[in-house]
Amino acid sequence: MPVSKEYLVKRIILLVFVIFGVLFLTFIITRLIPARPELLWAGPHATMEQIEKARKQLHLDQPLYIQFILYLQDFLTGNWGISWRTKAPVLTDVLSTLTATLELVIIAFLIAFITGIPVGVLAALKRYNWIDDLVRIITVIGASMPVFWLALIAQLVFGNWLGLLPSAKRADEWITIVTGFKSITGFYLIDSMLQGNLPVFIDALRRVILPAFVLAAYPFCLTARMTRAVMIEVLSEQHVRSLIAWGLPQRAILFKYCLKNTLVPVIASLGLSFGYTIIGAFMVELVFVWPGIGFYAAMSLLSFDYPAVIGCVITVAIFYCIVNTIVDLVHSIIDPRVRL
């Protein structure tokens, strides 16, 4: 077995330390922001007595280390606190918005993976050709372009000017009400297919296209450039050149011998870019009014909703660590030389 128990134990321990470190840093940073969250909790027309009562309820009258200890105790028991903005449990809010973000990120990664690898392979086969130059120019520009700027341009061109696709929200409320759509898993595309609700499926699919393609820009460019570089290196190896000299078909050499060796570093780079994609989803969701965890975190940050901000950051940190662990496991399965 390529994965040992010692490795899994080490990763679990590392995950605990990462979560604690992120929790501590986020807690300190949010408490250093000059704001009065008790006003948000008490309401806009609260009296001084109600504001003081809110400070005591939120433990804001306690020293900073006491606040952290109390929050850590609640966090370890599964109580992530109450959102000062929505008045709902933070864990409930995070779980209800997380599926929207996961649906967007998964579709974006599928787009990047499905399109990036063929483009990178084509650029490697046409090295120093105009196709290779075009791919390199596009991937450099796409990787260096701010995702929020690309989201605004896509929304303006395809949504407002051309009117080809909806430029905001996850689904049309009127269609969901008329068709009786109910969310089961939180993934609208899956739920609409399970219920046989074609109008909601088409509407959700049309609305996810723009933000998904915008979010896929960076991982696509990274995948294409990585695939091109590794494929060029693999094609120059001695055993591949021998296969070409023996007269084997180019398709068989490409898919049977070269592509497998190319996928190993590409998958690893995609895993490392997952965290960047999650952060990019925050800005994309804000532009497209996508009701995911990024939009929820942005609204919470603007409202100085400390428990909600900490909950969002912890959730992203957990997912980032889990995805990196999965990438390492897949790496060890694909490449027999790797032992964990």
Q: How far is CA 129 from the centre of its chain?
A: 34
Structural contact between residues 211 and 285, judged by C-beta atoms closer than 8 angstroms: yes
Q: What token pair was written down for 227? A: 């695939």
List CB contacts of 253: < 8 A, sequence separation 6 or more.
Answer: 240, 243, 244
Q: How far is CA 121 from the centre of its chain?
A: 26
User: Which residue segments constitute the domains of the chain, with CATH numbers given?
Assistant: 93-275 (1.10.3720)
Q: Rounded CA gap, 263 and 3, in Å?
A: 19
SS3 82: strand
Looking at residue 35, its pLDDT comes to 63
For the residues 59-68, what does the mean pLDDT come to? 79
Q: What token pair was written down for 340? A: 């964990």
Place of tokens 């809010």: 93
Task: State how far the alpha carbon of 230 is from the alpha carbons of 103, 125, 227, 328, in Å.
Answer: 30, 12, 5, 19
List the end-to-end C-alpha distance of the chain, in Å, as a whole number: 9
Share of the chain above pLDDT 70, in %: 92
Q: What token pair was written down for 301? A: 């940050």
What does the pLDDT look like over 90-143, one tens digit per residue? 888 888 898 999 899 889 988 988 898 889 888 888 888 888 889 889 988 888
Class of residue 288 by CB neighbours under 10 A (exposed 0-12, middle 13-18, buried 19+): buried
Looking at residue 250, its pLDDT comes to 72
Q: What token pair was written down for 309? A: 């901000």
What does the pLDDT look like over 169-214, one tens digit per residue? 888 888 888 888 888 888 888 988 988 889 999 998 999 999 999 9
Q: Rounded CA gap, 211 and 288, in Å?
A: 7
List CB contacts of 181: < 8 A, sequence separation 6 or more.
Answer: 171, 175, 191, 192, 195, 197, 200
The strand pairing partners of 82, in sequence order, are: 89
Residue 336 predicted with pLDDT over 60: yes
Q: Which of 196, 188, 228 is nearest to 212 (CA)?
A: 188
What does the pLDDT look like over 4-18, one tens digit per residue? 777 778 878 888 888
Question: For the CA atoms of 254, 258, 259, 263, what is the dihedral angle to 10 degrees?
Answer: -170
